[in-house]
Every structure is written in C-alpha cells, then in structure tokens.
Structure 1
C-alpha cells in the first residue's frame, strides 16, 4: 500500500507541474494576482459543532488550491471528498449525496477509470486530534465550466471516519461521514 501511495503522489506531482507548465506557456497576461475565484467551507461534526474550515482558491491557470484545518478528530488517516450537493443535514450527512463526479469516472486515484472530480488524498490527523491538508487539483474549478463546484445543487466537503483506499467504488471504503461543510463562494 505504501508503494501505491508513493506512486500516486509522484503521478499527482507530475500532472500538477505539467498542467501548470503548459498553462504558463500559453498565457499572455502579466498580472501579479493569480487568484480568480475563492470559496470557503465551515466544517461541522455530527453534533453540529464547528471543527474546522476549508478554503478553495483558483489561480489563473485553472488549478484549485484546497487548504483544510480541523481539530477534534480521531488520529490517523481520513478519507476526504467533495460531494455533489450543498446540504450537510446531520447526523449522517447523506444529504450531501455521492462524490462530485460530473465526468462519470470511477472512484480513486489508483483506479484506471478514475478519479471522481471530488476525490482528494487522505487527510492526516495527528495524535492531538488536529489535521491539515494543502493540495492542488486540476479536477475541479471555481469558475464556470463542466467541473465547477458551483452547480445548481452546489457542493460540500466531507470527512470520513477511516482512510480512503483510493480505488474502491463508491467512496474508497472510508467509513462513516463524520464532518461536513457546504462550499460557498467568498
């Protein structure tokens, strides 16, 4: 499993730099502000307690940086995904629907038919119950288009009780939904 995770990280880094590099070569805009759109999600647990937040920032090249900060969670790896509905009705958060998947892919970064647009690497939570994530993705956008997070139904960010295996449909065997936040434009 460690080899698969390392391979996933290498592939993700190569794709990220290849996408950013090709976008930079084709740009003629010399502005210094690289942020075109931003969003935020206030993350709440099953008891409706605020346990963290997430920010989403899209740059001029269409890459979205997602930063997450949480506390009060069980130490270890937790699956974290963008879901297809802006509804975080607790305690089970099933109202958020399935993973955000506008292109009809299968789940997981190591799935040859994947990933879903809403798939993200596992969130690492330390022994003190805090976790943070800082990832860049080209699978979603904040600007208009087929993978925008601002659909008619909106989207949400969910954290699961266990780790995501990055291959099993529909959610990587990542367990119960324990934290949810509606993604809202800033």
Structure 2
C-alpha cells in the first residue's frame, strides 16, 4: 500500500513539475514580444527626451594673467536655457559675467571675443531693467576661496535656433576682474577680462 502511495505521489509531483515548466515556457513565449515592445518604446522615449533637451558645456580658461578656471553648463529645455556656472581661482567678491559677440578666446587678454553681444542695439544695463544687452547677465560673487556657483535661466536665449537675436552658439562668455555697475557705457566698467569660454556645440 505504501509502495502504491509513493508511486502515486511521485507521479503527481512529476505532473506538477511538468505543468509548472510548461506554464513558465508559455509565459515566456507570450511575454517575449511584449517585453521587446516595451523596451523599444522606452528607448524611443529616451531618445526623444535627449532630442528635446539640448546641452552644451563651455570650458572657461584664464585670461589677463589670472588663475580663473571652470565651466558653464547650458541646457535648453521647454523653450528655456538654463545656465550653471562653476568656477574657481577668482579674487573674492563680485565679477561681471557677459556674453560677447565673437566665439574667439585666442587673445591673452580675451579681447578677441569682441564687445558685448547686443543683437537689438540697446544700451548696456541690468538684465530685466529698462534697456540692456542680451549678453548682460550680471555679477557672480566669489567666496573667500575664490569659488563661485551661479545659476541663471531665461527664455530669451536658445542653442542653435534660427533666431539670431536669441541664438548664443558661436558667442563667448567673459568673466571680468570687477563688478558690473550696470550703467557705464558700453560695458559696465567691469575691468579686465579674467576668463573666457567659447559657446560651441
């Protein structure tokens, strides 16, 4: 009797194992194409997001005998450009930062970058107040260690769009030795150019 029970139990276990295996295989077969489709859709969504989000990294190099260095990260998304500045080697205090008209940092004093980027022909001033250049960003503030972290966002710029009053590709960032007073023409009396970086893709 025990022998018969053992045989029956062994048979039942084998049937259950076979059934589970078949179920697993069926699920794998049924799930396979769906899994691939989901992966494909995720990949396409990711590629679409990357296309919609344009990024540019600008390396800032020392000029005029300074020790200033760092980078500026630009991200364009949903019609706005976000700028994040990370720099060191600056004298503690305020330093004007502007976009200049030429994408050229070859000169030791940074003057190859030309004047302020001013596509609309306005007077120099403070961003958002009356008249100002499209490159009049404002002042960075370096801490006691000469480090600065600064963020700025605007819908008045773009990265390689067709509107030349907004497109900042092909221009340069300049950081100055002193602060922008927002009134002296044509550039805010900010002093020497201590760092320069070309905005290019």
How far, CA to CA, are the matches of 1:114 and 1:136 in structure 2?
19
Unaligned runs of 5+ in 2: 1-45
Question: 1:92–1:180: structure 2 CA closer, same or farther, 3 Å change rule?
Answer: same
Deviation of 1:138 after TM superposition, in Å, equals 2.6
Report the TM-score when normalising by structure 1: 0.73
Number of residue equivalences: 152
User: What's the CA shift string for 1:76-95, capped at 9, x where partnerless?
Assistant: 00000011111002321110
Structure-2-length-normalised TM-score: 0.68
Where 1:103 maps in the other structure, the secondary structure is coil
Pair 1:174–1:50, CA change in 2 (3 A): closer
Which residue matches 2:159? 142
- The Cα shift of 1:75 comes to 0.3
| Structure 1: gaps of 5 or more residues | 1-30
CA RMSD of aligned residues (A): 2.4
**Residue 125 (structure 2) aligns with:** 108
Supply the distance in 2 between the matched residues of 1:127 and 1:90 (Cα, whole angstroms).
Answer: 29
Show the 5 A alignment for 1:54-69: 54-60=72-78, 62-69=79-86
Q: Which has the larger radius of gyration?
A: 2
More helix by share: 2
